[in-house]
Chain A
Amino acid sequence: SYELTQPPSVSVSPGQTASITCSGDKVGDKYASWYQQKPGQSPVLVLYQDAKRPSGIPERISGSNSGNTATLTISGTQAMDEADYYCQAWDSSTAVVFGGGTKLTVL
């Protein structure tokens, strides 16, 4: 079955750049999506088709996907960005798959 692997946690200082990786076999050949989830809330789509932002998502959130790694990048990180982030892709063997999630802490 297909798997996506994320680091359990990432820390960043306010105003700095945070990068969260999502590793999977040839994930660069698939479209990756990313979700932000704050405590007690439902997930929110922040990136789709690797790097496209839905309406209302700030431009400081960006994405890339190549080879075996998809990356979500937050520039000028703010306290409001502190949340869990999940990557997600589709594979013919398992259909929809989510990464294990990364807790972003803004110190």
Chain B
Amino acid sequence: QVQLQESGPGLVKPSGTLSLTCAVSGGSISSTHWWSWVRQPPGKGLEWIGEIYHSGSTNYNPSLKSRVTISVDRSKNQFSLKLSSVTAADTAVYYCARGTYESSGSYYGIYFDYWGQGTLVTVFS
């Protein structure tokens, strides 16, 4: 059973950099899956931040792209998120998740079958 566990500071100062790590257990990060970060502001919906493949290839949400860096450490079976120049609007529960891409003919998609328990990050001075 794959498990994901987020870790990192729960408080970040405005204009600072948010840094989180997601440890993957029960499976290899070098499998044929993509690894994503998703966030959820208090009382609001889900927002996809970006994803990484074990090769280091990344894709980011265009609305956050200028501030986001996702990296992978295959030796530790984990991946990380850095979000720079944070403001109060970045206060959210941050989840890591495993993504599986699917395609058939012209149909294409991705689904997230394993999620971490989430970690609340508050931007607070």
Contacts and interface: CB of A to CB of B under 8 A. Distances in A.
A95 B61 contact: yes
A45 B113 CA distance: 6
B108 A86 contact: no
B36 interface: yes
Contacts of A97: 48
A86 B44 CA distance: 11
Interface of B: 36, 38, 45-48, 51, 59-63, 95, 99, 101-102, 106-113, 115-118
A45 B62 contact: no
Interface of A: 1, 29-33, 35, 42-45, 48-49, 54, 86, 88-90, 93-101
A46 B47 CA distance: 18
13 contacts: A30-B109, A31-B111, A35-B46, A45-B112, A48-B109, A48-B111, A86-B45, A90-B101, A90-B109, A95-B61, A96-B48, A96-B110, A98-B38
B46 A86 contact: yes
A90 B113 contact: no
Contact of B111 (A33, A93, A94): A33
B111 A43 contact: no
Contacts of A89: 109
A31 to B, nearest CB: 3
B95 A30 contact: no
Nearest to A32: B109
B47 to A, nearest CB: 7
B107 A43 contact: no
B107 A33 contact: no
B102 A49 contact: yes
Contacts of B109: 30-33, 48-49, 89-90
Contacts of B45: 86, 98-101
B63 to A, nearest CB: 8
